Amino acid sequence: MIAPPPVLHSADPNAPIKIAARDVSVFYGAKQALFDVSMDIADKTVTALIGPSGCGKSTFLRTMNRMNDTIAGARVAGRIEIDGQDVNARSVDPVLLRARVGMVFQKPNPFPKTIYENVAYGPRIHGLADGKAELDGIVEASLKRAGLWDEVADRLHSAGTGLSGGQQQRLVIARAIAVEPEVILMDEPCSALDPIATAKIEELIDELRERYCIVIVTHSMAQAARVSQRTAFFHLGRLIEMGDTEDIFTNPRERRTLDYITGRFG
């Protein structure tokens, strides 16, 4: 069955479109994992991707910063534009793209370096800081924006891997923020965290929304309802419907969406 077109109204009707996906399909070898997904993703908005395991949420997320390029045998068809620019164009350097479109994974993955170096690394390789004082400033501002500064200010030069899971996840978010991204992709960023650390990350996501376009994959309906303004429901590699989170959770148009959000499958 062909998915209906996505509902094109936004939680903030004035939020400009940041990412436009058109007929995006992804293949792993001969197996098609994603079928003709078209979606507009608004800026300064949290968009949640939900759906049962294996439905293609991570695959779709990875099309936005070309992380599928790093998977042998993966092929992407269709078009993804960020601010009108085709991310798969030959002229786009995937390394620079991934700085603009940062990614946070399920399991926090700090580099085996100090807290300071985790955050300073990106700005240094991208030449964003002119000297040590400026770099220090970027590190401090990024840690503050990630809500971690107060907990680590006195141990910037100890190992990032020595932090708690929730702190490591905020460190990774600080690392993503440090290179001045426009979009932050999060793939189940809280699923390895306890409820208190999860609440902190959710609070942080809500603050970050002021500055960034955020796309989050989550298995928690409650989390999607708490943090997102827009929700997209995927099933078997297709986008089934998308709309304002409130509408998706209270009045979905599709039976499959209703069955999923009410826990009848998935």
Ligand X SMILES: Nc1ncnc2c1ncn2[C@@H]1O[C@H](COP(=O)(O)OP(=O)(O)OP(=O)(O)O)[C@@H](O)[C@H]1O
Least distance between ligand X and beta carbon 237 (Å): 7
If one asks whether residue 107 binds ligand X (CB under 6 A), the answer comes out as no
If one asks whether residue 63 binds ligand X (CB under 6 A), the answer comes out as no
**Contacts with ligand X: how many residues (CB under 6 A)?**
11
- Measured over the CA atoms of residue 76, residue 34, residue 246 and residue 206, the dihedral's sign is negative
Residue pair 244/230 in contact (Cβ under 8 Å)? The answer is yes
Specify the amino acid at residue 170.
Answer: R
If one asks whether residue 58 binds Mg ion (CB under 5 A), the answer comes out as yes
Per CB under 6 A, the segment of 50-58, 75-83, 87-95, 131-139 that binds ligand X is: 50-58
If one asks whether residue 28 binds ligand X (CB under 6 A), the answer comes out as yes
Rounded distance between C-alpha atoms, residue 116 and residue 152, angstroms = 9
Residue pair 57/234 in contact (Cβ under 8 Å)? The answer is yes
59 binds, options ligand X, Mg ion, none, Cβ within 5 to 8 A by partner type = ligand X
Per CB under 5 A, the segment of 53-61, 88-96, 177-185, 197-205 that binds Mg ion is: 53-61
DSSP letters, 148-160, are -HHHHGGGTTSBG
If one asks whether residue 27 binds ligand X (CB under 6 A), the answer comes out as no
* Closest to ligand X by CB, 55 or 183: 55
DSSP state, residue 70: G
Least distance between Mg ion and beta carbon 240 (Å): 17
Residue ranges of alpha helices (H) inside the chain are 57-63, 94-100, 115-125, 132-145, 149-152, 165-178, 195-208, 221-227, 245-250, 255-261
Least distance between Mg ion and beta carbon 59 (Å): 8
**Interface with ligand X (CB under 6 A):** 28, 33, 51, 53-59, 71
